[in-house]
Structures are given as C-alpha cells and as structure tokens.
Amino acid sequence: MISSIERIILCALGALTVSFAIAPQPAMAHGERATEPYIRTRTIQWYDVKWSTDKIGVNETVAVTGKFHLMSDWPDAVKKPDLVFMSNASPGAVLTRVESYINDMPAQQSLKNLELGRDYTFKLVMKGRIPGRWHLHPMINIHGAGPIVGPGSWVQIDGRAADYRHSVTTIDGTRIEDTQNYGVSRVQMWQIGYILIAVAWLLWWLRRPLLIPRWLATQKGLEELLITRTDDKVAAGFLVLVLLVVIVGYINVKANYPRVVPLQAGSLYTPPLPAAPNLMMVKFNKAEYDVPGRSMRMSIEVTNNASRPVRLGEFLTASLRFVNKTLPMAVAAVDPAYPKELLPSSGIVVDRDSPLAPGETRVIKMDATDGAWEVERLVGFLTNVDSRIGALLFFYDDKGARYITSVAGPILPVFKKTI
C-alpha cells in the first residue's frame, strides 16, 4: 500500500512533469515580454522598422531604421515622454551604438517634449563587437517610466572579439585608436590607490581587540579609552593624505586634459513629423478578448474622407502585425526580413471587407486570432485597472497609398463570441 506521504510526493512529481511538458520555450532574449501589456499597446507603436542586414562581422555595422507613433491614449500610470533617450536593447554590450538619430537629428543627448499623437523617424547604427547571434531592438527610455522596447530581430556577428577596435578623434586632434581600453590602466591605478588607503585605515583599527572588549568598555562608560591621541594623529594623517591625493590628481588632470566636455550636458528638442491629413475617421465601438479562443475582436465605425476607396490592411499593436491576407498591397508592404514571430500567421479577418467608397461610413468588425497574444504575454491587459488596448490601423486604397490612424478603447474578456 502507498502511504499518504508517498502519494503526495508522486502527485507533486507528476505535476512538475506536466508543467515542464507544457511550459513555453525560453524567452531567448525577448525581454520586452516582461513589460506590462498596457505599456506596450498604449504608449509607443513602432512601424516600418527595418534592419539593414542580419549578418555582420566584428567592426562592421548594421542600421536599424523606422518610425514610431506616440499614442494619444497614453496611460495615466506612465509618465509622459517629456524627456526621452533613444537607445538599443540587446543582451549586453555585444554591439556598440555609433550613431543615433530622431527625425534625422543626432540623438546622442536626451530629447524633450515629444508630442502625443504624433510620429517620429529614428535610425540606429550599431557596430559589431562580440561574435554570436544576438537580438537587436530599438528602444526609447522615458525619464520616470523606463525603457519601451520595439521589435527585435536576430543579427549574426562573425569574427574575433580580440579584433574589435573603435577609434575616435577628440576636439583637440588627439587620435584614440582603441576606446574600449583607453584610460583603463589610469582608472585601475586610482582604484588600487584608494583601496590601499582604505585597507591601511581598516588595519589600523583591526590590530587591537575589537568587539567584546570595546562593548564592555562602552558598558562601563569608558568610551574615551577607545580612541587614543595616537588614533587622532593617524586619522588626521589619513585625512591630509586623501586631500593631497585629490588635489594633486585634480591639478594633474587639468594640466594634461585642459578641455573637458561632459558626457551629457542637456537635452534637445525636435518637432514631430508633419501631421498627415486624417482621412480615415475611426470611432471605437467595442473590443473583446476571447480567452479560450485566443482571439481579439474589435468593432469600429470608419468614415472614408479620402478620394479613393480603401480597405483595412493591417492591425498593429505591441509590434505584432496582423495583416489582412486578402489584400495584396498589405501583404506586399511586409518586409520579408521582419521577425516572423511578430507576424501572426492567421493575420486579421475583416468582416464586410469590400472597398469603402469615398464619403462612406461603415461599421467594420475585425478578428485577430493567434497564440501570439499568449506567447507575447499581452493578455495581461485584461487584468489592468482600466482594461484598455491601443493599436495602429493601416488602410490602403486601390493605388497602394497608405493611410495610418490610431484606435484605442476598453477591452473585456469573454468566453464566447459576442461581437
């Protein structure tokens, strides 16, 4: 007979076996999945993102370009983009960011006062440093809110790490051939010097009995016996020594490097891209997420103010691109190099998908069904306080012109179809 304890152990082992069997694969550098869904769907929407190549060598560069849209339905829990910094997300310093631009303006410094509801272009130029296969994302850091990561693609870096070199010429004409090792010996010298001073200070106090005798002295009110005149003189000597080291070091650095530029002295401003005419008027009606079916369904009312008939070609949220497979222009707009895991195979199914004539208003229902909602950990928006979702909609006319508009509204979990 199996005892109750053995039965519990067997049940626990069975549960662990099942959990390992059904557990998803490792994230493999997808750190953006740890970001709250309401941040990924309602703050920054990245689109037209491209990587110039998927394979480089050490010291060679890859460029990441594209655009991003700041959602008007910005969540109250996230600080507004009043101060941002354009950067990249990758697993450590495997690449070196050598250039960055927003709206073609150099973005080495922070930018201020980005405008909600507007679009910006970006460009990152990254230089291969460590061989391997790495995931490379564009990223914007918002002061007070943290990083918001865009779509990521794999980049293979070949070669030897020992061959990496990054050279610069300073404002006084000095040529630095290897920036990653420049000045390291000087920094180490200062660190070792201060460590030696600290160790000497500790040894001065560790040379005598410590805890119990000193505790007994304080219990008897004999604290004045714990610090002698010699201790005072040694302390004064250490103070003078540290001050001399700091003053002499400062004078030496000023003499050798008279021109010093702060790494980041301020912030810049760049206006957003010119606003395109809002020819697609979209009114949000209703949205729901079918939990067992892994399906997001939305109903919108669209008015076509363009001069040509249009169809809905793409629904984009959190870098997931649900493409209308029945619309050739939308399919052709997808870069073959775009990450396949961010292109749900089922795309988006549009009800009443006939062309919307100029001046016509129609209620359109769309269905985005795919396991990507779960894989990308986006269904957490169902448990947020406001339970809202945001996205970009891409409409195409019969000539291939594209019209972009945003949509946002509350979303509710359901267990059967209601839209």
Residues 396 and 284 in one domain: yes
Residues 125 and 236 in one domain: no
Specify if 275 maps to a domain. Answer: no
CB contact burial 364-393 (16+ within 10 A = b; e otherwise): bbbbbbbebbebbbbbebbebeebbbbbbb
Q: What CATH number should be reported for the domain holding residue 219? A: 1.10.287.710
Q: Give me the pLDDT at residue 258, please.
A: 82
Residues 146 and 206 in one domain: no
Q: What CATH number should be reported for the domain holding residue 114? A: 2.60.120.570
Specify if 396 maps to a domain. Answer: yes
Specify if 46 maps to a domain. Answer: yes
Specify if 240 maps to a domain. Answer: yes
pLDDT range class, residue 416, cuts 50, 70, 90: confident
Residues 39 and 157 in one domain: yes
Residues 141 and 191 in one domain: no
CB contact burial 1-39 (16+ within 10 A = b; e otherwise): eeeeeeeeeeeeeeeeeeeeeeeeeeeebbbbeebbbbb
Q: Which two tokens stand for residue 335?
A: 């870069």
Other CB atoms closer than 10 Å to residue 261's CB: what's the count? 8
159 lies in which domain range?
31-171
pLDDT range class, residue 158, cuts 50, 70, 90: very high
Q: State pLDDT tens for residues 353-370.
A: 999 999 999 999 999 999
Specify if 360 maps to a domain. Answer: yes
Contact 386, 360 (CB under 8 A): no
Residues 107 and 224 in one domain: no
Q: Give me the pLDDT at residue 307, please.
A: 94
Q: State pLDDT tens for residues 78-104.
A: 999 999 999 999 888 899 999 999 999
Mean pLDDT of the chain: 88
Last-in-domain residue among 150, 171, 192: 171
Residues 348 and 373 in one domain: yes
Q: Which two tokens stand for residue 31?
A: 């750190």
Residues 242 and 354 in one domain: no
Asked if residue 119 has pLDDT above 50, the reply is: yes
Residues 190 and 300 in one domain: no
* DSSP, res 293: T
Last-in-domain residue among 122, 147, 171: 171
Specify if 24 maps to a domain. Answer: no
What is the rounded average pLDDT of the residues 235-246?
95
Q: In total, how many domains does the chain have?
A: 3
Residues 46 and 70 in one domain: yes
Residues 302 and 331 in one domain: yes
Contact 367, 391 (CB under 8 A): no
Residues 163 and 195 in one domain: no
Specify if 98 maps to a domain. Answer: yes
Specify if 269 maps to a domain. Answer: no
Q: What CATH number should be reported for the domain holding residue 340? A: 2.60.40.1580
Last-in-domain residue among 171, 201, 221: 171
Q: State pLDDT tens for residues 308-353.
A: 999 999 999 999 999 999 999 999 999 998 999 999 999 999 998 9
